Structure 1
Amino acid sequence: MITPTDEKRYTETEFWAFVEASDLHRRHELIRGEVFDLLGSSANHNSVVTNMATLLNQGLPETCRVFGPDIWLKSEAAEGYLCPDVSVVCPPVDFFQERTHVITNPELIVEVLSPSTADYDRGEKWGFYQAIPSLQDYVLINQDRHQLALYHRTGPQRWDYQLFHGPEAEVVLPSNPLSFPLGELFRRVVWE
């Protein structure tokens, strides 16, 4: 669960001033005027994010851009800005109001589930993402076991769901035809 940083309501201008003045190791989202602090992630979370970004960079066409968690996504549904763990934009990249740290047209979004954000990533945030016309695939990765959920858009309001289990499971991302064994996402991840 995520909670607002404080009681104040922020405009977009105030939000960007807040972000610029804040700790660079924190991520913030603006949702309907409220600022939410996304707590720091674990080493395993970061390893899975890095592995996913690497697989996408190696497997997608050269024209596609893979972005990490420091790039925001302008969300009309959230009336603000969201921070996906990984996002992919294939040409053209549409930056919001020429801000090169804010995209509007991802084809693929990846969230690595953390205990503090898993319900949000599966619920409210997923609702915001569904409203993005360009989005074709939404991926949720469990950082604690070999499990990946894939939502693939099949129509304006329709999504197919697939769940992959185990390191040998072959994950296929339909919108970019890219496939990889699920275990590749967990290279150098240490479970205790």
Structure 2
Amino acid sequence: MELPKRRPEFDIDAYMAWEEGLPERHEYLGGEVFAMSGGTDAHYTILLNTATSLKAALSGKPCRAFISGMKLRVDRADAVFYPDVFVTCDPRDRQPEASLAKQHPALIIEVLSDSTAAFDRGRKFEHYQQIDTLQEYLLVEQDRKHADLFRKNREGLWVLHPAGEGDVVRLESVGTELVLEGLYEDVEL
């Protein structure tokens, strides 16, 4: 008697090959794929303001900022995500084999929406914490001027540094600061 044929697993490498030819973006988590939905005007304006500020601040430094079209591969979590913005300073992310997905960010930034906030603050953050090079995780709200920066301390614990109206967010991981008001330029709250 012949055994039933096993359905091949959809692993990260299969996902990477599959998604490369698609016009839509999908995140990958443990063999499942999830279509990415579009964002609001506020979401994309905050994303652009954040990326623009980081690009200017990182000029001349060995770090590069990427926006939501670049994949972030987290092998230890069996996941591939599209963070809104992230920065990598690691030379491994400049190699030709890293042209479609980076793996060694120092900073990840997510702009929160009603549909993603719980996942971004919870399970996604758990997965991101498995990245050895990650030092800071910034969550920016889009419906009020507020951001939560989580920074890994010397003991490996993630410490919350909230920021509100009039505050400056100090990003030690990349040696720069973001004026919170600037992230909300042209955003109608």
TM-score per shorter chain, which class?
0.7 to 0.9
Secondary structure of 1:107 counterpart: strand
Q: Residue 5 of structure 1 corresponds to which residue in structure 2?
A: none
Tell me: CA distance 1:75–1:97, structure 2 relative to 1, closer, same or farther (3 Å): farther
Distance of 2:35 and 2:179 partners within structure 1: 33
* Identity over aligned pairs, percent: 34
Are the equivalent residues in 1 in contact too, given 2:90–2:104 (CA < 8 A)?
no
Are the equivalent residues in 2 in contact too, given 1:51–1:187 (CA < 8 A)?
yes
Secondary structure of 1:187 counterpart: coil
Q: Residue 102 of structure 2 corresponds to which residue in structure 1?
A: 103
Aligned AA (1:11): D
Over aligned residues, Cα RMSD in angstroms? 2.0
Cα deviation, residue 141, structure 1: 0.2
Question: Equivalences for 1:91-130 in 2 at 5 Å?
Answer: 91-94=90-93, 98-130=97-129
Secondary structure of 2:93 counterpart: coil
Cα deviation, residue 160, structure 1: 1.5
Q: TM-score, normalised by structure 1?
A: 0.86
Are the equivalent residues in 2 in contact too, given 1:95–1:101 (CA < 8 A)?
no
Cα deviation, residue 189, structure 1: 1.1
Unaligned runs of 5+ in 2: 1-7
Cα deviation, residue 95, structure 1: 5.9
Question: Equivalences for 1:37-186 in 2 at 5 Å?
Answer: 37-62=35-60, 63-94=62-93, 98-155=97-154, 157-166=156-165, 168-186=166-184
Distance of 1:178 and 1:85 partners within structure 2: 18
Q: Residue 11 of structure 2 corresponds to which residue in structure 1?
A: 11
Partner deviation per Cα, 1:77-124 (whole Å, 9 max, x = no partner):
320211111010114142688040200100000000011111110001
Are the equivalent residues in 2 in contact too, given 1:49–1:85 (CA < 8 A)?
yes
Cα deviation, residue 13, structure 1: 4.1
Partner deviation per Cα, 1:126-185 (whole Å, 9 max, x = no partner):
00111101001100000111000001111353111111111x112111222312321100
Are the equivalent residues in 2 in contact too, given 1:72–1:102 (CA < 8 A)?
yes
Aligned AA (2:114): P
Cα deviation, residue 9, structure 1: 5.8
Are the equivalent residues in 2 in contact too, given 1:28–1:36 (CA < 8 A)?
yes
Are the equivalent residues in 2 in contact too, given 1:75–1:128 (CA < 8 A)?
yes
Distance of 2:17 and 2:174 partners within structure 1: 36
Tell me: CA distance 1:20–1:57, structure 2 relative to 1, closer, same or farther (3 Å): same
Unaligned runs of 5+ in 1: 1-7
Tell me: CA distance 1:34–1:80, structure 2 relative to 1, closer, same or farther (3 Å): same
Cα deviation, residue 51, structure 1: 0.5
Distance of 1:21 and 1:174 partners within structure 2: 37
Distance of 1:153 and 1:70 partners within structure 2: 26
Q: TM-score, normalised by structure 2?
A: 0.87
